[in-house]
């Protein structure tokens, strides 16, 4: 009886191992930012439909996770909305023996999204108001700092519940980068970073967790990437830009923010939050793929390079459907040249 | 000597070589060696676990020493690692779980052991032990979508009764240490019931009969005679339940709010050791940060070892079979 | 004559204990019912056969997670059960010394280790040196968790075999090994098999160790050295997300997982009680 069981077992193992392994399947593992996750998951799915032997498995573990795992070598490439700083780049160089390249993919926006019972209007938020809320200084929805920008909207006097990221996050980096630029209090402490010492608030894991938390908690406010608010039909507010206008996050606003950028640096690391100009949405950002400059496996290297070329052409046409703005043409041209740096 | 005849255990065949070969063929030594190897593998695994935890947490241990456990700010970006909020959250949620779970668990165990007829008792115990088999992530699922909204609805009532204490003050958002404590209580009750019931059943009937003969009511017999007799075993079950709740990860992280701060009120969000490891380990950006999560794992490991050890001692000395 | 107060206390307290039992049993029934209504009733064939769709697009299923969990459990069983079982054989048949006491104590120690710590161990020992997440790492982590449970249950059931059976075999001239493998183990068969089943059911729901070993995968995971999706991790990921479709799938997956685990438990205990032994 045990012998029969053993044979059945062995046959099952063989079947599962062989049957599920397709001869030429190239499986590439990637992980990182949740900010562009809806876009990446669509791209990788479309790419897999086009080239069925290439499967790019992207895990949305947060920008911090993307940076950590690509440095540890447990994923083939990472993704982050906060560019790696010099210390992290050096650490990658030391650990993996090659440089790490940043490749911008799309432009997105952080929006302040909220769940206030009875309020369906798109509220206007000044930079100081947002900083005050997240610092824990503004604690009620009907606080004058919020109310004065929203004449005509009946705000309840309920306590504000702040929701932020519990994990290391590029979305947090973009948000705190903006807050640091508009509020001196915020800039001193907590400052900007992928993970900060939040004065108040609940923690959610990933853009998904923050959106989920806001949906479940009345009187809450948090920051998520635009598409998460749209896909889940959540209310989000307008933010005051450097020119004083209250702008709702949109493709036009995000594109305008990038257009104001003077010159894209060689390594593609740049911040476009609080950009000057009319019609600009102030909490916009590029998001990057983090690709090692040396990839050992030739099939993977070719697959990744091919994907980048596809992404910069066909991929850019799919961004608007998911409310991400495509890259400016000058940036695309620069990136195509930079792909050659991957050896 | 025939090659196929079974060799008696103590047979002494002629030449030493053929003796050795015969013993080998009889399989005793092989069986002994193989099973011994497996037993040694278990020891090796445990040693490896302790070794890895200890070695990989060397960086933070050398850098921070005991202040790691006493600091209250956890800010990896600034290089500040104070683990007290996690220890606090772990202890508070487990304590709350025990506070709710012990009366309910021991109460049900008394009912099942003393009052219910044997068939009913066995049937109900079977159902309760099925509760112990429910995976943790399912408790988390129900926690988010059933328990937390229910607690939000019940909040005014709770506040009316208990709002005078600082423990139930402040705003309540649903996800909180209180919710985590309740979920943990549901998860540990089956363990308390199962073991306590066995322990109570093991109390000799003479003790009960003696008390009843002296005129005690059923309840008085149970409370004043049976329970003190079963005390050690019940304590053991409580320690076991505590050890389990300390290490519980998924259900807690889904309802505790994930905020690394110490709040007095149970209504406030918090964080536990297991939850922070699960959330942040894979994004630790340098060896030091990774080491801190491993050090937290070491702390948790140490805590559960001590408590489990106490539990085993208590339970083994009061039931005939050791508990599972 | 008993005072009224004592009678009252007696009645109240005893009924309270009944209430406690009712609450405990009721909770299980509530969980079953809720999962059935939220997950079971909307279970579709797609759930079992389709891969996940891109984020935000409704539809798709968890076929890869189901296969992934099956592979992980298979690998875990291949590691955990032989080592645990043979360790149990050692303790039951060759044990009795202080060395056995140490082994038993360490086994209990290992049993109490939180699953997240086992996950850390597998990450540092397998994922980091290998350089990638894999089904192998996840299977090993689960296997390590299975070992102590297997040791305990094997030892208990083997020890429950009457000494007379062993003595009878040896009196007929069988060697120790032959006695163990042809007499004792077959006699304990029912208990051993149920022990294995309960072990698998226990480990099937583990999520924490898989987060940093098997990682996750939106596609099929061929072979053993690629990351793989698994049912518990998918439930977790989908449950904390904002997408209504994902949350629905989390309920369905939760229902499937719970049904699997409970059915194995019920079946195992039925086998045991049929053989007249106490189910434990």
Q: What is the pLDDT of residue C276?
A: 56
Encoded tokens for B139: 């408790």
The string of pLDDT tens digits covering residues A44-65 is 999 999 998 999 999 888 898 8
Do A86 and A116 have their domain in common?
no
Residue among A5, B240, B138, B133 nearest C198 (CA): B133
Mutate to test the interface with C, among A21, A51, A55, A74 (most CBs of C within 10 A): A74
Neighbours of B55 (CB within 10 A): 12
Residue A76 maps to a domain: yes
Query: Chain A partners of C241 at a C-beta cutoff of 8 Å?
Result: 208-209, 211-212
Partners of A291 in beta bridges: A101
Mean pLDDT, rounded, of chain A: 89
Nearest CB among C78, C215, C242 relative to A212 is that of: C242
Which residue in C has a C-alpha nearest to residue B321's C-alpha? C156
- CB-hemisphere CA count at 13 Å for C261? 27
Do A212 and A336 have their domain in common?
no
Query: Chain B partners of A68 at a C-beta cutoff of 8 Å?
Result: 282-285
Q: Where are the beta strands (DSSP E) in chain B?
A: 74-75, 80-81
Mutate to test the interface with C, among B133, B224, B271 (most CBs of C within 10 A): B133
Residue B55 has pLDDT above 60, yes or no: yes
Residue B322 has pLDDT above 50, yes or no: no
Q: What is the pLDDT of residue A196?
A: 86
Supply angle C-alpha A169, B171, B104, rounded to 5: 100
Distance CA A175, CA A168 (A): 13
Cβ <8 Å between B30 and C177: yes
Residue A333 maps to a domain: yes
**Residue B281 contacts C, CB cutoff 8 Å:** yes
ipTM at complex level: 0.87
Residue C81 has pLDDT above 70, yes or no: yes
Q: What is the pLDDT of residue C93?
A: 84
pLDDT above 90: percentage of residues in chain A? 64
* Alpha-helical regions (H) of A148-264: 170-182, 184-188, 206-216, 226-231, 251-259
Distance CA C221, CA C68 (A): 7
Q: What is the pLDDT of residue A9?
A: 63
Encoded tokens for B27: 């399989």
Do A161 and A295 have their domain in common?
no
Partners of A106 in beta bridges: A287
Q: The domain that contains A295 carries what CATH number?
A: 3.40.190.10
Distance CA C40, CA A289 (A): 40
Residue among B142, B238, B160, B164 nearest B194 (CA): B238
Higher pLDDT, B90 or C178: B90
Cβ <8 Å between C207 and B137: yes
pLDDT above 90: percentage of residues in chain C? 44
Cβ <8 Å between C27 and B131: yes
Query: Of A214, A243, A259, which marks where a domain is finished?
Result: A259
Cβ <8 Å between A22 and C242: no
Residue B17 has pLDDT above 60, yes or no: yes
Average pLDDT score over residue span B22-29: 72
Q: What is the pLDDT of residue C42?
A: 82
Partners of A246 in beta bridges: A240
Do A104 and A146 have their domain in common?
no
**Residues whose CB is less than 8 angstroms from the CB of residue B209 and which lie 6 or more positions away in sequence, other chains included:** none
Q: What is the pLDDT of residue A19?
A: 46
A27 Cα to chain C: minimum distance (Å): 8
Residue A7 maps to a domain: no
Query: Chain B partners of A91 at a C-beta cutoff of 8 Å?
Result: 286
**Residues whose CB is less than 8 angstroms from the CB of residue C142 and which lie 6 or more positions away in sequence, other chains included:** C72, C73, C75, C76, C80, C203, C206, C209, C210
Do A197 and A325 have their domain in common?
no
Residue A116 maps to a domain: yes
Nearest CB among A91, A161, A195 relative to B76 is that of: A195
**First vs last Cα of chain A: how many Å apart?**
56
Cβ <8 Å between A74 and C128: yes
**Residue B83 contacts C, CB cutoff 8 Å:** no
Supply angle C-alpha B222, B228, B230, rounded to 5: 90
Average pLDDT score over residue span A143-157: 91
Do A125 and A93 have their domain in common?
no
Do A213 and A224 have their domain in common?
yes
Residue C245 has pLDDT above 60, yes or no: yes
Pairing of strands A284-292, A100-115: antiparallel
Residue A243 maps to a domain: yes
Q: What is the pLDDT of residue A11?
A: 63
Average pLDDT score over residue span B260-287: 88
Do A196 and A303 have their domain in common?
no
E strand or H helix at A30: strand A26-32
Q: What is the pLDDT of residue C14?
A: 87
Which residue in B has a C-alpha nearest to residue C263's C-alpha? B130
Which residue in A has a C-alpha nearest to residue B277's C-alpha? A167
B306 close to B129: Cβ distance less than 8 angstroms: no
Average pLDDT score over residue span A138-158: 91
Q: Which domain holds residue A37?
A: 25-108+284-341
Pairing of strands A124-125, A238-240: parallel
Residue A14 maps to a domain: no
The string of pLDDT tens digits covering residues B56-97 is 999 999 999 888 999 888 887 778 899 999 999 999 999 999
- CB-hemisphere CA count at 13 Å for A28? 28
Nearest CB among A17, A38, A211 relative to C224 is that of: A17
CB-based burial of residue B177 (10 Å sphere; 0-12 exposed, 13-18 middle, 19+ buried)? buried
The string of pLDDT tens digits covering residues B95-138 is 999 999 999 999 999 999 988 898 999 889 888 888 888 999 99
Query: Of A225, A259, A293, which marks where a domain is finished?
Result: A259
Mean pLDDT, rounded, of chain B: 86
Do A174 and A227 have their domain in common?
yes
**What domain count does chain A have?**
2
pLDDT above 90: percentage of residues in chain B? 43
**First vs last Cα of chain B: how many Å apart?**
48
DSSP3 helix / strand / coil % (chain B, rounded to 5): 75, 0, 25
A103 Cα to chain B: minimum distance (Å): 20
Cβ <8 Å between C133 and A74: yes
pLDDT band of A264, cuts 50, 70, 90 = confident
Residue A59 maps to a domain: yes
A177 Cα to chain B: minimum distance (Å): 15
Positive or negative, the CA dihedral C40, B144, C258, C29 is negative
Cβ <8 Å between C215 and A322: no
Do A237 and A117 have their domain in common?
yes
Distance CA B217, CA B198 (A): 22
Residue A236 maps to a domain: yes
Do A194 and A178 have their domain in common?
yes
Which residue in A has a C-alpha nearest to residue C55's C-alpha? A38
C81 Cα to chain B: minimum distance (Å): 11
Peptide bond into C161 cis (omega under 30): no
Do A205 and A136 have their domain in common?
yes
């Amino acid at each position: 009886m045990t012998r029969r069981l053993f044979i059945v077992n062995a046959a099952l193992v063989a079947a599962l191992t062989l049957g599920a392994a397709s001869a030429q399947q190239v499986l590439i593992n990637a992980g990182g930012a949740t900010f562009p996750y809806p876009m990446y998951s669509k791209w990788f799915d479309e790419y897999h439909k086009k080239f069925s032997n290439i499967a790019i498995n992207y895990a949305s573990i947060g920008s911090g996770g993307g940076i950590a795992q690509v440095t540890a070598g447990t994923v083939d490439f990472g993704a982050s909305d906060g560019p790696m700083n010099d210390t992290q780049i050096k650490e990658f160089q030391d650990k993996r023996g090659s440089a790490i390249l940043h490749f911008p993919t799309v432009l997105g926006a952080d929006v302040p999204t909220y769940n206030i019972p009875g309020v369906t209007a798109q509220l206007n938020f000044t930079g100081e108001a947002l900083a005050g809320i997240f610092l824990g200084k503004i604690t009620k929805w009907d606080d004058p700092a919020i109310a004065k920008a929203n004449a005509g909207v009946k705000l309840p006097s309920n306590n504000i519940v702040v929701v932020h990221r519990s994990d290391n996050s590029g979305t947090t980096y973009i948000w705190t980068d903006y807050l640091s630029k508009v509020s001196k209090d915020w800039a001193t402490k907590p400052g900007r970073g992928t993970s900060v010492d939040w004065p108040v608030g609940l923690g959610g894991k990933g853009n998904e967790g923050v959106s989920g938390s806001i949906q479940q908690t009345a009187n809450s406010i948090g920051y998520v990437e635009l598409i998460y608010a749209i896909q889940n039909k959540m209310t989000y507010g307008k933010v005051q830009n450097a020119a004083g206008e209250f702008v709702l996050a949109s493709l036009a606003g995000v594109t305008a923010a990038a257009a104001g950028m003077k010159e894209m640096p060689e390594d593609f690391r740049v911040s476009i939050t609080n950009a000057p100009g009319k019609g600009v949405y102030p909490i916009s950002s590029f998001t990057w793929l983090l690709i090692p400059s040396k990839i050992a496996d030739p099939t993977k290297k070719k697959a990744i390079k091919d994907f980048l070329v596809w992404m910069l052409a066909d991929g850019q046409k799919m961004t608007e459907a998911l409310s991400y703005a495509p890259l400016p043409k000058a940036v695309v041209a620069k990136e195509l040249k930079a792909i050659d740096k991957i050896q | 000597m025939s090659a196929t005849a079974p060799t008696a255990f103590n047979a002494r065949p002629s030449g030493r070589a053929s003796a050795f070969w015969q013993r080998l063929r009889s399989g005793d030594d092989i069986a002994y060696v193989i099973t011994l190897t497996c037993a040694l593998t278990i020891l090796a695994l445990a040693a490896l676990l302790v070794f890895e935890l200890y070695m990989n947490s060397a960086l933070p241990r050398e850098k921070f020493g005991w202040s790691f456990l006493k600091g209250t700010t956890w800010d990896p970006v600034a290089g500040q690692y104070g683990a007290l909020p996690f220890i606090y959250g772990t202890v508070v949620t487990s304590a709350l779980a025990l506070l709710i779970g012990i009366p309910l668990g021991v109460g049900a165990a008394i009912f099942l052991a003393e009052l219910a007829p044997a068939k009913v008792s066995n049937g109900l115990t079977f159902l309760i032990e099925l509760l112990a088999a429910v995976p943790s992530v399912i408790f988390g699922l129900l926690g988010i979508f059933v328990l937390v909204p229910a607690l939000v609805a019940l909040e005014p009532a709770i506040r009316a009764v208990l709002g005078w204490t600082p423990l139930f003050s402040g705003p309540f958002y649903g996800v909180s240490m209180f919710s985590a404590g309740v979920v943990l209580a549901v998860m540990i009750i089956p363990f308390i019931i199962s073991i306590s019931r066995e322990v109570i059943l093991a109390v000799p009937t003479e003790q009960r009969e003696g008390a009843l003969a002296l005129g005690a009511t059923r309840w008085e017999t149970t409370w004043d005679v049976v329970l003190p007799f079963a005390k050690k075993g019940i304590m053991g079950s409580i320690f076991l339940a505590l050890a389990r709740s300390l290490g519980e990860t998924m259900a807690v992280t889904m309802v505790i709010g994930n905020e690394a701060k110490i709040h007095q009120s149970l209504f406030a969000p918090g964080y536990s050791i297991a939850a922070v490891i699960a959330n942040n380990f894979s994004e630790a950006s340098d060896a030091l940060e990774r080491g801190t999560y491993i050090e937290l794992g070491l702390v948790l490991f140490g805590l559960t070892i001590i408590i489990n050890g106490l539990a085993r001692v208590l339970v083994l000395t009061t039931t005939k079979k050791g508990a599972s | 004559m008993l005072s009224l107060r004592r009678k009252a206390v007696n009645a109240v307290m005893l009924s309270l204990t009944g209430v406690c039992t009712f609450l405990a049993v009721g909770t299980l029934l509530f969980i079953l019912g809720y999962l059935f209504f939220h997950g079971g009733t909307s279970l579709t064939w797609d759930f079992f056969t389709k891969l996940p769709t891109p984020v935000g697009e409704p539809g798709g299923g968890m076929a890869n997670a189901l296969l992934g969990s099956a592979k992980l459990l298979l690998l875990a069983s291949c590691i955990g059960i032989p080592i645990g079982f043979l360790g149990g054989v050692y303790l039951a048949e060759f044990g009795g010394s202080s060395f056995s006491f140490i082994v038993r104590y360490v086994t209990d120690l290992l049993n109490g280790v939180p699953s997240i710590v086992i996950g850390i161990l597998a990450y540092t020992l397998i994922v980091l040196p290998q350089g990638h997440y894999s089904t192998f790492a996840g299977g090993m982590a689960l296997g390590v968790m299975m070992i102590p449970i297997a040791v305990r249950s094997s030892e208990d059931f083997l020890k429950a075999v009457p000494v007379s059976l062993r003595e009878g075999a040896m009196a007929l001239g069988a060697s120790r090994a032959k006695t163990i493998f042809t007499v004792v183990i077959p006699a304990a068969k029912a208990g051993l098999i149920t022990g294995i089943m309960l072990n698998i059911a226990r480990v099937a729901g583990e999520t924490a160790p898989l987060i940093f070993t098997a990682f996750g995968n939106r596609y099929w995971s061929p072979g053993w050295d690629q990351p793989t999706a698994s049912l518990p991790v998918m439930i977790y990921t989908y449950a904390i997300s904002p997408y209504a479709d994902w949350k629905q799938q989390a309920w369905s997956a939760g229902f499937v997982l719970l049904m699997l685990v409970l059915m194995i438990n019920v079946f195992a205990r039925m086998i045991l009680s049929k053989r007249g032994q106490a189910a434990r």
